[in-house]
Amino acid sequence: MVRIQATLIVRYAIGTTAFGVMSYFIISCVRLYFCKSSAQLETLTLPSLSSYLLAYPTQTRVSIQLNRSQLFPAVTICSGNPVRFDKFFVPVTAYIRAKNLSASPPTITSDDIRHGAFNYIVDLMNNNQTKQVLSYGFQLKDILLDCTYNGYDCRSVWVESISPTLGNCYTFNQQTIDKTAKLFQINYVSGETQTLHNGLIMTFYVNIELYLPLFEYGLGLTGILHHPDEQPLIRYAGKRFSPGFEHTLVYEKSVSSYLGSPYSSCTKEVRDDMKALYHFFDNNTDYAYSETVCLELCQQAFMYEQCGCIYPVYFFLNQLIFDGQLRRVRICTPWTAEYMCTIQARNHIANDPDLQVRRCPHCQSQCTIYKYSSELSALKGPGDAEKDYYRRMILANSTIPVKPDFAVNSSYYLDQNYLKLSIVPLSPYETVYEEKATYIWSAFISDIGGQSGLWLGLSVLSVLEVIEFLYKKAYAMKARRKTTSSVQAFEMETQSVSGPK
């Protein structure tokens, strides 16, 4: 009976795929090979796989996606001149006389007005008189004749802001704290009117006759396209539009998204100083993190530590972070020693990358970057029919300030002040650059399993053969018990038949 079990085991050992060995010597060699292979797996394969995983490799996937519900960009427009002459001249000359800022009193020259204007604006901002500053600039109703978006009248949906260099600015399609307020999409169609022209179409009367004579400023408008949740950095990348033309701006949208930690150092955190900046003018704004804004705030903080004041160029602000605390700051008085100090401090940190890294470690790249690539074209305007139409509109609209002789010389004034701007998407497609992890934990575990299977020779077939062996062994044991019982019964029967002799 023992021979039956031995024969089965030997037959299995010889025939099975995973454990087919012919002798104890071969088994010993296999065990030795297994130990050596396991050591190689541990010393070579695992470290290389783990080091590759911990390097957090990534790859960029580029796709062109159809998005018919694509958000229309925010559009920010600023006047070509920061203030209206008729509103600003009297108070600024009074300020110059009161502060004795004239170079040759009592005469006030154009240079006196130029220097005094900036001093006056800075004093107002340091005393929280922002509304007073806004009142000196061009209001939207002073320059906007008409505005439609896919046929919808959009003259009342602009949000006001202010620029240190450009004065009053106005933004269309801005993101606000109220998330229920819907932003305009490119497929939006107004049910009120039928239109043959899609996109944002604006017609302006820029009122160059009311410009304050400052030699740094041209005639027309400055505008920029940006995402609805972005601070408009119009001083950085604004486009200039001249009066006397019908401009068309055709744009394409692209989105670049990056993985956060541990794959990259990108961030979405909006610190308290950035929140204070965003809410400086309007508490209803809801802007996202911006690396450019972060670096500017960091440089302003450095300037304040060096000089005791700041000098904003790109946007007004009145609070910065020092030692983890938000503190109020003031703007330097222009053309003074402290003003020159801020210029030197800005140049110092701007030209020293190592200093920027030490001072601004929190200013990392954005995790999402929106870009609007655009092409600009223009036609001469307005035509005679448009001149007649807008002449009648302006004369009937008392909010547009015009010269007393406008009714007689409307053709001349419209040639000088008419500006039309159309902004349209090239297509509903957008280019998406998306960073993806090349190697993740599930892939790491899968590779370990694959390598282990390669070295150890484990497979589904091996498992099935083990099950087959156990089944055959159980069957053989059952057959042996049955045979043993039959033999014992036969012997007992034989003994009972023969009886005692």
| Segment 396-432, tens digit of pLDDT | 877 899 999 999 999 999 999 999 999 999 999 999 9
Alpha carbon 327 to its chain centroid, in Å, reads: 27
Distance of alpha carbon 15 from the chain centroid: 64
Non-local (6+) Cβ contacts of 113 within 8 A are 89, 92, 93, 96, 212, 213
Q: How many residues does the chain have?
A: 501
Within its chain, how far is the Cα of 241 from the centroid? Answer: 27
Give SS3 for 374: strand
pLDDT for 449 equals 59
The two structure tokens encoding residue 92: 């600024």
User: Does residue 196 have a pLDDT over 80?
Assistant: no
Q: Is the pLDDT of residue 95 over 70?
A: yes
Close Cβ partners of 408 (under 8 Å, ≥ 6 residues apart) = none
Tell me, rounded to whole angstroms, the distance of Cα 103 from its chain centroid.
48
What is the pLDDT, as a whole number, of residue 258?
93
**pLDDT classification of 6: cutoffs 50, 70, 90:** low
Q: Using pLDDT thresholds of 50, 70 and 90, give the confidence band for residue 500.
A: low
pLDDT at 461: 57
Evaluate whether 76 touches 223 at the Cβ level (below 8 Å): yes
Instruction: Give the number of other Cβ atoms within 10 Å of residue 501's Cβ.
Output: 3
- Phi and psi at residue 156, to the nearest 5°: -110, 10
Q: pLDDT class for 51, splitting at 50, 70, 90?
A: low
**Which span out of 24-28, 151-155, 342-346 was modeled with the highest average pLDDT?**
342-346
Tell me if residue 435 falls in helix, strand or coil: strand
| Residues near 155 by beta carbon (within 8 Å), at least 6 away in sequence | 140, 144, 146, 147
pLDDT per position as a tens digit, 15-40: 555 444 444 444 455 445 555 555 55
Q: Which pair of structure tokens corresponds to residue 404?
A: 């007393």
- Selection from 294, 300, 314, 302 nearest residue 364 by Cα: 294
* 13/22 Cα distance (integer angstroms): 7
Does the model's pTM come out above 0.85? Answer: no
Give 361 or 454, the one with higher predicted confidence.
361
- Does the pLDDT of residue 444 top 70, yes or no? no
Q: What is the pLDDT of residues 222-256, one digit of tens each?
A: 999 999 999 999 987 899 999 999 999 999 999 99
How many CA atoms within 13 Å lie on the side-chain side of 62? 2
* Alpha carbons 419 and 399: distance in angstroms, whole number: 17
Burial of 231 (0-12, 13-18, 19+ CB in 10 A): buried
CA 58 from centroid of its chain's CA atoms: 19
Residue 373's pLDDT band (boundaries 50, 70, 90)?
Answer: very high
Across all residues in the chain, what is the average pLDDT?
A: 84
Domains identified in the chain and CATH numbers: 2-55+440-494 (no CATH), 64-437 (2.60.470.10)
Per-residue pLDDT at 456: 53
CA distance 322 to 276: 14
pLDDT at 140: 96
Contact 286, 175 (CB under 8 A): yes
Q: Tokens representing 269?
A: 């955190």
Question: What is the DSSP annotation of 378-405?
Answer: EEE---HHHHHHHHHHHHH-TTS---TT
Q: Which residue has the tokens 């919808």?
A: 152
Q: Flag the least confident range among 51-55, 146-150, 313-317.
A: 51-55
Residues 158-175: what's their mean pLDDT? 92
Higher pLDDT, 190 or 291: 291
